[in-house]
Amino acid sequence: MKKLTFLIVLICFVNNMNAQHTHQSEHALTYPNIEGYVSLKTDLHIHTVFSDGNVWPTIRVQEALRENLDAISLTEHLEYQPHLDDIPHPNRNRSYDLALAEAKEHDLLIVHGSEITRSAPMGHSNAVFIEDANPLLQDKGEKAFSEAKKQNAFVFWNHPAWHAQNPQGNPILSDFQKERIEKGELHGIEVINSVDYNEESLALALDQNLTIMGTSDIHGLIDWDYTEKGNDRPITLVFAKERTLESMQEALFAGRTVAVYNSLLVGKSEFLTPLIQSSITVTAAKYIPKTQVLEVQLNNISSSPLLFENAMDYGFYSSSPVFEIPAMGSYTLRIKTLEEKESIDLKLKAIGAFTAPKESPVVSWKIPVEK
């Protein structure tokens, strides 16, 4: 009887644990939607053993689920396969097929993609939303890009400032890239690749009207390369009309993105400013009794620590003009309004965010004051 009772208790415990099981880790990423759009968390530059990565495609799916991503693309090098002796795979779609099968039972979008890999000045580029990777394997790089265009692929320039190809660490816009842009065969550029943020790449994005991208370019484990070092993987927030592959593709071509790496946010003002506005909520705003010091409780509902600087005429009380609201955390701001107000326009410069090289947006919130 005791054994039976123990067995029943054990079964109940296991069932309860299974009911509570979630794929998400404590590092799951969260960002708010902005008006009119769904904020999709994506990483569109990832490698596995089917090119020069160190893990099987199913691991990439599991990592993405743990981090609460909405979409990933396994962009294997077409021309570079160092594991070929151990994993012969003439079909360049194999990595995608395995990831798609793994994600079938989960809420994760798998984008079909490949990386076109050549020496400078051509460099490396990712073609995503392709139909078939095999025809992209061309002797001439120009033909690979024209084939990607035939498949209506979104193509972006990878790590253009990579020192191995550009020793100065700055991107060089060659005649090859200019021709691809003119022919509608190059649509985006990485301003964040792995741990590197490149201002010159951002300048190129704005000058050439290229979509701003941020990617992990992960080859090892996300846990080892990012999480255990206290970092989140770099991602691209894509502002889509709905959570579908088709809508995401449309948003990328339209340039509705923000690149994110920890506290760094990079994007056009029309998308970056409302993202920051939506990330901060006000839970209380009232005066300290018998004073003209307004106490405002600010909550950060995003996974990025947000760094601000006072951009108002009013000063702060018992606070530096520069302050940080932790990711998923709160901060109490005390503002010396000099006289009691019924409402206040809180204006803060988001100094960890960039709309152009060395340019940060001023973000405002209209805050009613409690009586």
Answer yes or no: do 63 and 96 share one domain.
yes
Total number of domains in the chain: 2
Q: Which two tokens stand for residue 3?
A: 């054994």
Percent of the chain scoring above 70 in pLDDT: 94
Higher confidence at residue 117 or residue 193?
193
* Same-domain check for residues 112 and 246: yes
Together in a domain, 222 and 309: no
**pLDDT(358) > 80:** yes
Token couple for 367: 């805050």
CA separation for the pair 325, 318 (Å, rounded): 16
Whether the CB-CB separation of 256 and 37 falls below 8 Å is answered with yes
Task: Print the domain residue range for 303.
Answer: 275-368
In a domain? residue 130: yes
Q: Examine the fold and report which residue of 216, 232, 262 is the final residue of a domain before the chain moves on.
A: 262
For residue range 194-237, list pLDDT tens digits in order.
999 999 999 999 999 999 999 999 999 999 999 999 999 999 99
Q: How far is CA 65 from CA 9, 103, 128, in A?
A: 31, 9, 20
Among 236, 262, 288, which residue terminates a domain? 262
Q: Are residues 55 and 138 in the same domain?
A: yes
**Digit-coded pLDDT (tens) for 287-346:** 999 999 999 999 999 999 999 999 999 999 988 999 999 999 999 999 999 999 999 999
pLDDT, one tens digit per residue, over 131-186 is 999 999 998 889 999 999 999 999 999 999 888 777 888 888 999 999 999 999 99
- Asked if residue 3 belongs to a domain, the reply is no
Domain assignment present for residue 18? The answer is: no
The pTM score is 0.92
DSSP annotation of 245 reads H
Residue (of 245, 242, 244, 267) closest to 256 by Cα position: 267
Q: Is the pLDDT reported for residue 271 higher than 50?
A: yes
pLDDT, the chain, mean: 92
Average pLDDT over residues 81-93: 89
Same domain? 207 vs 300: no
Same-domain status, 181 and 288 = no
Tokens of 12: 């109940």
Task: Provide the CATH number for the domain around residue 217.
Answer: 3.20.20.140
Residue 249 lies in a domain: yes
